[in-house]
A and B are shown apart, each in its own frame.
Chain A
Amino acid sequence: MNTAFLVVSFMNLAFVLGLLLNLGGLLTWVERKQGAVMANRIGANRAYIPVPVGRDPNGAGGFKWSKRFTLMGLFHAITDGIKMLTKENFTPPFVDTFVYNLAVWFSAVPVLVTFAVVPFGGPFQPGVMMSEVLTMVGMTGAAASVGGFFGDGVYHMQLANLNVGLLFIFAIGSTGIFSAALAGWSSGNKFSLLGALRSSSQMISYEVFMGISVLGLLVVYGTVDFNEMAQLQQQTWFGVIPKWGVLLQPHMFFVFMTALMAENKRVPFDMPEAESELVAGYFTEYTSMKMGLFMMAEFLEIAVIAGIMTTMFFGAYHIPGVVAATDAMHWAMHPELTPVNAIFGAEVPHALVVVLRVGAFLFKLIFFCWLQILIRWTLPKFRYDQVMKLGWKYMLPLSIVNVIATAAFMYVLGGM
């Protein structure tokens, strides 16, 4: 471990945290605004920043706060944050205080931690990239010193380059159930307890086939490392069609997505919260930012789910048709397919490759966030028996059959 590695890690950390937390806040706005547009409404539009423009018509002489910048209601996310931070942090007297407070951390932390293994860009060489950029703006001296500091070391755009990536996600993700269970139990409220019971059974049920559903994909990939998965997905059939997970196992895409959304406890699967029945379910007794963290965790989880789906099924950070050459250290665009080569020739600057990859990842991530919110505003809530029936009677058998079939297929073919 050297200094350059630490610097790169902190860069990654800053990027991921900035991405996730901003996305979490932004998604609260997207949730409202997208739902409004889908329903022919206007949506959030009241929070604003007043700007002193123009004279006071009453002749008092001062400025009149006449302009309002609503910015499409984007300030609602900020006002929500201010509201939740400044509201009374009330702890009901009947709760089990330690567990009650512990549950809040169990809600947000596992969600953030799971994103650690998601690669948001491919392997990259910070020294090469930065010296390219600095040279371009004419700072050759700085380019040389930065290039010297980082050398030509290759790093992953990922917080933790674990070779057990998917297993890590399952391991950490399944601790999220503690938040609902502990919060519901410690609240000393029957609604909360009912919500906790529902969330326990729902999440455990869906975790069973969530793991099994991607086993087929793992058999195809032969690895649980997300980086390797990303690399494998840039292969193509006939040089054209990318070997994305969604094309390898399209049915399991639906099953896995269903399971992840059920884990998130949002609308088609919002049994544990169920406003119409259980007030707010397991976090009924929480106030201010403690309640806000539960809400925040849900929106963060949207982004995390989108990241996992992107990485496993949608080619991670790859743009279809724009593939790397075989040499992992030397980056080039696919010569005969991409217009990029028309500009840069066969040799494409490394910085552009990094930007394109991160951009592609973000595009896919945001698409899946949008898709989840679309689903949340489209599908009505399941009944509890329907949730259980869907999980145990359809999804689980389908997953198991898929594992066996895929394994048999792979055995016959002898590899991908």
Chain B
Amino acid sequence: MSEQLGQNADFDNLIDGHVMPQPAYQGEFTEGEIVKYYNPSRMTLLEKLYVPAIIGGLMITARVFFTNMAKWGIWFTYWIRGKGKDAPKGAVTIYYPEETRPDYSPINRGKHILTMRQQKGPSGEALPQCVACYMCATACPAFCIHIVAGESPDPNIEKYCVEFDIEMDKCIFCGYCEEACPVDAIRLTPEPRMADYQRERMIYDREYLMTWNPTYVEDDHVYPGGHPREE
């Protein structure tokens, strides 16, 4: 035991001052060889002293702080001239929903749409491409797609979706529905803005999904307090 302790007296094998339990050594070793089972500590003396390391860390964060404050100062010179919206800021985040990011990827997986057939229905209504095969609902890992199938009003089409609801608050935007669809009826657009204050409105019905360019109401009920930022 004392030999073992002597071997492990090396500080590297001490974690928080305790001798850690040693696993059985699988290979061969010669007498007197010190077997190191753990990654040796690579800290220098300066780092082990801790206080210099802390000061280094504080200097890093302080540097970020002052850099950002300087950027905000530049932003202020814009803002005071009424050009605050275009000015570079000292932050990478944005004032959502007054501002939106322009740099979303064109292949971002966002709001769903239902594609429509070129031919209109007998009474001139738009018909979805969807044939209500439930492949998307089957593939959906969040179980957020709910379809009710029915006879299509178009005699050339047998089956279509009478109701097609997506619970967007359950959706995880994996895109499996898009992959599973055999008729390219459902697609995910890059549109990221889907936030709402009412849970009921997070259930998108067929008509809304077939409206490809929803208008965003930049008015009273966009966010609490209700007015576009004017600063």
Contact = CB atoms under 8 A, between A and B. Distances in A.
A70 B231 contact: yes
A378 B230 contact: no
Given A42-B95, A48-B225, A374 B61 contact: yes
Contact of B230 (A36, A43, A68, A385): A68
Contacts, number: 63
Contact of A67 (B89, B90, B230): B230
B190 interface: no
B54 interface: yes
Interface string A20-58: 000000000000001011111111011010100000000
Contact of A374 (B62, B68, B225, B231): B62
A40 B68 CA distance: 7
Given A42-B91, A378-B57, A385-B16, A37 B231 contact: no
B93 A68 contact: no
A83 interface: no
A40 B91 contact: yes
Nearest to A64: B227
Give chain A's interface residue range (CB within 8 Å of chain B): 20 to 34
Interface string A48-79: 10100000000000000111101000000000
A371 B65 CA distance: 12
A40 B93 contact: yes
A377 interface: yes
Contacts of B72: 37
Interface residues of B, number: 26
Most buried by A among B58, B61, B64: B61
Contacts of A378: 54, 57-58, 60-61
B225 A68 contact: yes
Contacts of A37: 64-65, 68-69, 72, 90-91
B24 interface: no
A54 B161 CA distance: 49
A344 interface: no
A68 B231 contact: yes
Given A68-B231, A374-B58, A379-B57, A45 B95 contact: yes
B62 A36 contact: no
A42 B16 CA distance: 39
Contacts of A375: 58
A141 B90 CA distance: 53
A389 B18 CA distance: 13
A10 interface: no
Interface of B: 16-17, 51, 54, 57-58, 60-62, 64-65, 68-69, 72, 89-95, 225, 227, 229-231
